[in-house]
Amino acid sequence: MTESFTSDKDRPNHDLLASPNLSLELNGDQFRELVGQAVERLAPFLDSLADQPLQGDAKEIKQQPLPEKPAEFATLLDELFEQRIPQSYNTPSPGYLAYVPGGGLPHAAIADLIADTVNRYVSTWFTAPQLVRLEADVVDWFCRIVGLPDSAGGLLTTGGSLANWIALVTARELGKIDDLRQATVYVSDQAHSSVAKAARLAGVPLANVRSIRSDRLFRICIEDLEKQIADDLKSGLIPLAIVGNAGTTNTGAVDSLESLSRIAQQQNIWFHVDAAYGGFFMLTERGQQAMRGIELADSVTLDPHKGFFLPYGNGCLLVRRKNDLRLAHQESSDYLPEMPDESGRVDFCQISPELSRDLRGLRIWLPLKMHGVEPFRQNLKEKLDLCHWAAKELQLIDGIEIVAQPQLSTLAFRLCRPDDSDEQADAINRLLCDRINESRRILLSPTILNGRFVVRICVLSFRTHFKQLKICLEEIRSAVEQMRVIQLPDTK
């Protein structure tokens, strides 16, 4: 059919859009120039990471209007590198020991540059089978690391929260519970908040998310769990899922996964393991010891942006039977061809809530193929060693109590001064944490354990080595000395 326009006014103005001011196209040379300019900023940024402060100075933040006029690329880079980026936590720094670090392998940025430029459609097999296979291979490798059987599969997500949610949605879809008001989910009081959120978003009332007491090692109390399940069954409720921890955020505690699996099997309950923090320690013997039973799970959350050192935005859900994901998510549509369930073929849109998506697998595939798995394994072993070393050193400091000994690469401690009340102890430990962080050479984050304020050290970035842990201990010793002489108002 030929185009028909009622008047010249309606005709698209091709010449206008070809003008440099309005065209959005970049030719090869322009692209090379822009990437080159960005790399000119990024290379020195990477080289100076260890010397950059751990926190920036807070300055006024202004909202900007919709830009009507073009701006120079170099000016925008200035805005980013001189104003916006420095005013943040320096999360890729080797001294970042707060929350759960990962570092962010820069290989992923190169992978993204390639993936976003070729912009292939990887949600369906037929549009890019070689690239879908590449990502499915990454998922299969993760299944092998965790020890899941050949029937297993999964998908990459943007993070652990999404993975936990997809796991519970899958449990719900397969559980076929008519009235979700009857469904219950079991977690320990140390579970990450994303698990309760996932249950809620999967349709389980928050009141039915059972927070089971943890023991003195911050692992779920198995007896309490069994009793709660028995009570719930008696009341006519329907247990939907047990969520075990393979490395809690607070202390890195690992639940008795074998016991949880046994209970789940006896009661026919879905067994999910949140291994967002700990999962990749399965590459090490110590990790395999600590997480015995993870391979029995129905589903496992991993966070490559933690223990696989990727930048933020990289999570993963593995399931024991890959078909479960398909049963929970598949849909058909008139505008897409059939996507048959054939062996070797994966259609990500049929096993996940998403349709269009980025080629996330390349971020993992590239560094893993370039280096092989051994440097990842050795890095993780080193993190376990570093955290144990830090625990031993802390024990030598007068007044320091290790509240959580490392089970993986996290520990928690606090300063106990002889005459402080609980409130004073909390106040002094809050000050202690602030004082340590004021150095800006390292960054630690606090949490609450047994109702008391404690300071955590989490060693997980591939950039963190012995040098940073020595600095960390120096800063702690110096801050502790300052705390010894501080007088606080009496709150007894």
Ligand X SMILES: Cc1ncc(COP(=O)(O)O)c(C=O)c1O
Binding site for ligand X (CB under 6 A): 100, 159-161, 192, 194, 248-249, 274, 276-277, 303, 315
CA pair distance 378, 385, nearest whole angstrom: 11
**Cβ–Cβ under 8 Å, residues 203 and 241:** no
Three-state DSSP class for residue 5 = coil
Q: Which is nearer to ligand X, 276 or 390 (CB)?
A: 276
CA pair distance 447, 302, nearest whole angstrom: 22
**Cβ–Cβ under 8 Å, residues 155 and 325:** yes
**Cβ–Cβ under 8 Å, residues 349 and 355:** yes
Instruction: Report residue 223 CA to chain centroid gap.
Output: 30
Q: Which is nearer to ligand X, 94 or 278 (CB)?
A: 278
- Helix H or strand E encompassing 319: strand 315-319
Q: Which is nearer to ligand X, 94 or 159 (CB)?
A: 159
Show the tokens assigned to 278. Answer: 């700990």
Show the tokens assigned to 407. Answer: 């089970």
183: β partners: 238
**Cβ–Cβ under 8 Å, residues 91 and 463:** no
Q: Which is nearer to ligand X, 104 or 315 (CB)?
A: 315
Spatial CB neighbours of 318, under 8 Å, sequence gap ≥ 6: 139, 142, 143, 146, 148, 152, 153, 154, 299, 300, 302
Helix crossing, 257-267 with 222-234: angle to 10°?
Answer: 20
Closest approach, Cβ 318 to ligand X, in A, equals 14
